[in-house]
């Protein structure tokens, strides 16, 4: 910079500005018209890039949504809670699930209120995406009743005494 001279920015040399073109004695009307055409072309490029961004975003949303499993929980079910502290560790014998917990209430926004299955109930509110359905352990009698299988008849001990003993 020199005192008394007009300051010329580096952008003036890189892009032809009105001031630079006036110094070169070019037609002002043509310069303004050329700049308006460049601005219009820039707007067109911007619109095309926005449309392309929207198309890519919709593709990404569809790709992501096809891998989401819809989980239906209802109160009274048991669930396991995913512990995200261990998501980066690779351990064969290390569990990543906490619980089981009993589902108390399911909210419309996907949140789920859980309670411990201990005698002293401790309630907590979690995101439903971090839950997995836990199937309650079934006793043998409940399993047989579920499939309508009759248990085998028991033979009284007195009738067994009269049977001949097989010889080997």
The three-state DSSP-derived secondary structure of the chain is CCCCCCCCCHHHHHCCCHHHHHHCCCCHHHHHHHHHHHHHHHHHHHHHHHHHHHHHHHHHHHHHHCCCCCCCCCCCCEEEEECHHHCCCCCCCCCCEEEEEEEEEECCCCEEEEEECCCCCCEEEEEHHHEEEECCCCCHHHHHHHCCCCCCCCCCHHHHHCCCCCCC
Give the pLDDT confidence score for residue 30 in this predicted structure.
Answer: 77
pTM: 0.47
**What percentage of the chain carries pLDDT values higher than 90?**
33
**pLDDT, average across residues 47-62:** 96
pLDDT higher than threshold 70 for residue 126? yes
């Amino acid at each position: 910079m020199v005192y008394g001279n007009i300051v010329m920015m580096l952008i003036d040399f890189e892009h032809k500005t009105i001031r630079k073109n006036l110094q070169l004695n070019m037609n002002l009307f043509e310069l303004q018209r050329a700049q308006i055409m460049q601005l219009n072309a820039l707007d067109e490029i911007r619109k095309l890039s926005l449309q392309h961004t929207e198309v890519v975003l919709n593709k990404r949303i569809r790709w992501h949504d096809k891998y989401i499993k819809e989980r239906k929980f209802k109160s009274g079910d048991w669930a396991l809670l995913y512990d995200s502290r261990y998501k980066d560790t690779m351990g064969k014998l290390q569990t990543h699930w906490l619980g089981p917990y009993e589902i108390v209430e399911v909210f419309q926004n996907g949140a789920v209120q859980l309670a411990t299955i201990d005698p002293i109930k401790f309630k907590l509110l979690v995101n439903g995406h971090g839950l997995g359905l836990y199937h309650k352990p079934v006793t043998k009698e409940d399993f047989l009743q579920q499939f309508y299988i009759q248990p085998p008849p028991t033979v009284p001990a007195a009738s067994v005494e009269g049977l001949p003993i097989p010889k080997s």
